[in-house]
Amino acid sequence: LFFFWFVAFCGSKPILAQNTFEIYIGSQQHEYAFNFVLDDDNNYVGIVLKRLSETEMRKSYLYKISESGDTVSRIFSKPDTVLELRDIIIAGKSPVEYMVTGTGYQKDSSSVFWFSYFARLDANLNIIWEKIYQLHHVHDYSSIPFYPN
């Protein structure tokens, strides 16, 4: 369940950008929403992490919510990796574009290889480009139950 109530301020007069609305995402996962930004088209775009209750593994989504409460979402994932989005900014205004950053790790049979993730997205949440930078940190998490191999 997400509860959103957004107010934008213009000068000294507050303007209600959206009436209160609720969004129900029908899943058995725990959902966390954060870092929503307001673009020039009056859409709120932000990160939603979904986590299975028995693990610490999260899946990263971007949600775009219009003034009327309509939503569009996109999952961010890579094969054999865990990717968690961390931040979003508005990267362009005409046309509207976003940039997201995150961290993750790539798994092989014995070790976890950490990386930083950057992507630029268009107004429809399509990836324009993405970059992955390998970090020089390798650690064996196989003994920790919420980091499965």
149 belongs to a structural domain:
no
Residues whose CB falls within 8 Å of the CB of residue 90, separated by 6 or more in sequence, listed in order: 37, 39, 40, 96, 97, 98
Residue 99 has a pLDDT of 97
Element (H, E) at 72: strand 71-76
Q: How many structural domains comprise the chain?
A: 1
Q: Which of 85, 5, 90 is nearest to 45 (CA)?
A: 90
pLDDT value at residue 13: 43
Indicate the pTM of the whole model: 0.71
Cβ atoms < 10 Å from Cβ of 69: 13
Pair 57, 38: CB distance under 8 Å: no
Q: Is residue 62 part of a domain?
A: yes
**In sequence order, what are the residues at sequence separation of 6 or more whose Cβ sits closer than 8 angstroms to the Cβ of residue 89?**
37, 98, 99
Length of the chain: 149
Instruction: Tell me how far apart the alpha carbons of residues 111 and 149 are, in angstroms, rounded to a whole number.
Output: 8
- State the Cα–Cα distance between residues 31 and 28, nearest whole angstrom: 9
Is residue 28 included in any domain, yes or no?
yes
* Low-confidence residues of the chain: pLDDT under 50: 1-16, 144-149
pLDDT attached to residue 37? 94
In a domain, 147, yes or no: no
φ, ψ for residue 124 (rounded to 5)? -95, 10
- Domain assignment present for residue 146? The answer is no
| Closest to 52 in 3D by CA, of 76, 22, 28 | 28
β-bridge pairing 112-121 and 96-107: antiparallel
Q: Which residue range is the domain that position 44 belongs to?
A: 2-139
Residue among 28, 101, 26, 96 at smallest CA distance from 62 = 101
pLDDT of the residue at 25: 59
Structure tokens given for 123: 């107004």
